[in-house]
Chain A
Amino acid sequence: MFKTKNFMKIALVSVMAASFLAGCGGDKDSKGNSKDVFAQIKEDKKIVFGVKHDTRLFGLKNPSTGDVEGFDIDLSKALTEEMFGDDVKPEYIEVTSKTRVGLLNNGKVDAVVATMTINEERKKEVDFTDVYFDAGQSLLVKKGSKVKGIEDLKKGTKVLAVKGSTSAINIREKAPETTVLEFENYAEAFTALKSGKGDALTTDDSILYGMAEEDPSYELVGGTFTEEPYGIAVKKGNKELVDELNKALKSLKESGKYDEIKDKWIKN
């Protein structure tokens, strides 16, 4: 008798906790939907970009200065200048593949410039600008590895990837026999590759070049096997901000400023 009562009590509390949490989720979604992001940026005189902090060449926190540096940061700085002149200051918040959509939707971030591939699934969740960088998925292996390309990823091989990235989904389609192990971020995935936990690491070539630059005993093999067009993501329904970003992107490309930034970071 006592035991059943006890169990019922615990079960009841669990259900109450779950429904309470579910309720909180609902609130979050409805909050901030009313205000247009572009108008808010002009009012606050600041635009908050979500950028990576762990991705060489695109967005990497420099431990000695504390600044985040990379192609994504320089590009968003130039875009802000192009759109607003000196009126609006760019600010940066760290995002990861897992957090970037959530941070856009709850209004903590105005635009995500974080090596984010445009695809149909994601278009349902966020709005994308035009392509700002053309990447493609490739493989990074230790020099002299037996893996020379995606066709070598047979049964028994292990490929390392990052959670929440399109590359993890792609590799399962293109090499269905291989085992895919997913890690929290690129640094952990690369460390796992270095300590022999997998035969290859897969993600966009742009990011792999950064790793190969850091440790020259690793190299890219097999070329690219997907197209990964990077776009800037904003919260769904903010057409004005998307249009303004596209306009700014276009004029940066025409003025040569875009190539200048690109050449500074991507040497290949």
Chain B
Amino acid sequence: MLDFSILTNYTDLFLEGLKITIIVSLIALICSFILGTLIAIMRIAPFKLLNWVGTAYVEFIRNIPVLVIVFFTFLVGNFGGMIAGTIGLTIYTAAFIAEAIRAGILSVPKGQMEAARSTGLTYGQAMRMVILPQAIKIVIPPLGNQFINLVKNSSLLAVVAGGDLMYQGDLISAMTYATFDTYIFVGLFYLIITIPLSLGVNFLEKRMARSN
């Protein structure tokens, strides 16, 4: 059976890790959403150079392991593990979010853009006021997936001493030798974050579907 004394003896460490994992995930979530949207727009904007930059970013970043990116930001930049990890996660997740959003924008019928432009809106206005609000409904499920992955990927902070849940788990298992029990608890703590996130995405999806 699970050894619950680990949970009670090391409550502080678990909570500290949970706190950092939540903070890092939240910041990376917001930043990668903004960066990902910008890159998606670059990929479909009517400028060849921007298309190229956006494509290069996505293809380069999504094809290397996130561990490598996190190590890179940690060793090259002048930050501690937590900030370097957040930046690395943002860079990595943005590539996937950009793809999800691009797919969403492209799935809005072409006629919508043409109609919006013919009413005198600029490309940027049409994008912001007509296309994006429609695209967002389509991209909510894939975005939810990316955000859940982001929370789990944040466990990579452990390798750069970022102080997150996994890092604390490593330390606790090293102190107690109860490797198995410790990581089960670590897994359950991740569920505390990811299950509400999952349910939230489901809820949003249903609400958006109703507003159609």
Q: When A6-B202, A98-B179, A197-B80 are in contact, do A191 and B75 touch as well, CB less than 8 Å?
A: yes
A163–B74 alpha-carbon span in the complex (Å): 18
Q: Which residue from B76, B78, B161 sits with its C-beta under 8 Å from A181?
A: B161
Residues of chain B contacted by A197 (CB below 8 angstroms): 74, 80-81, 161
Closest CB in chain A relative to B69 CB, distance in Å: 16
Please state if A98 and B159 are interface contacts (CB–CB under 8 Å): no
Please state if A98 and B184 are interface contacts (CB–CB under 8 Å): no
A28–B179 alpha-carbon span in the complex (Å): 13
Residues of chain B contacted by A10 (CB below 8 angstroms): 195, 198-199
A-contacting 9-mer, from B57-65, B97-105, B141-149, B170-178: B170-178
Q: When A22-B184, A183-B159 are in contact, do A163 and B199 touch as well, CB less than 8 Å?
A: no
Q: Is A1 an interface residue (CB 8 A)?
A: no
Residue of A nearest to B75 (CB): A195
Q: Is A125 an interface residue (CB 8 A)?
A: yes
Q: Is B38 an interface residue (CB 8 A)?
A: no
Q: When A164-B170, A182-B170 are in contact, do A125 and B177 touch as well, CB less than 8 Å?
A: yes
Closest CB in chain B relative to A127 CB, distance in Å: 14
Query: Chain B: residues with CB nearer than 8 A to chain A?
Result: 1-2, 74-76, 78, 80-81, 159-161, 167, 170-171, 173-175, 177, 179-181, 184, 187-188, 191, 195, 198-199, 202-203
A196–B203 alpha-carbon span in the complex (Å): 46
A160–B177 alpha-carbon span in the complex (Å): 21
The contact sample of 12 A-B pairs, CB cut-off 8 A, is A3-B203, A18-B184, A22-B2, A25-B181, A97-B174, A98-B173, A169-B175, A181-B161, A191-B75, A192-B160, A196-B78, A197-B161
* Binary per-residue interface labels of chain A (77-107) against chain B in the complex, 1 for a CB within 8 Å, 0 otherwise: 0000000000000000000011001100000
Per DSSP, chain B at the interface is helix
A197–B76 alpha-carbon span in the complex (Å): 11
Q: Which residue from B1, B2, B76, B179 sits with its C-beta under 8 Å from A102?
A: B179
Q: When A102-B179, A184-B159 are in contact, do A6 and B199 touch as well, CB less than 8 Å?
A: yes
Q: Which residue from A7, A22, A28, A102 sits with its C-beta under 8 Å from B199?
A: A7
> How big is the A interface, by class?
20 to 34
Q: Is A240 an interface residue (CB 8 A)?
A: no
Closest CB in chain A relative to B13 CB, distance in Å: 12
Q: When A10-B195, A22-B1 are in contact, do A163 and B170 touch as well, CB less than 8 Å?
A: yes
Residue of B nearest to A161 (CB): B161
- B-contacting residues, A179-202, CB 8 Å: 181-184, 188, 191-192, 195-197
Q: Is A217 an interface residue (CB 8 A)?
A: no
Q: Which residue from B161, B181, B188, B195 sits with its C-beta under 8 Å from A183?
A: B161
Closest CB in chain B relative to A212 CB, distance in Å: 21
Residues of chain B contacted by A28 (CB below 8 angstroms): 180
Residues of chain B contacted by A163 (CB below 8 angstroms): 170-171, 174
Residues of chain A contacted by B184 (CB below 8 angstroms): 18, 21-22
Residue of B nearest to A165 (CB): B174
Shortest beta-carbon contacts, A-B, top 3: A164-B174, A181-B161, A25-B180
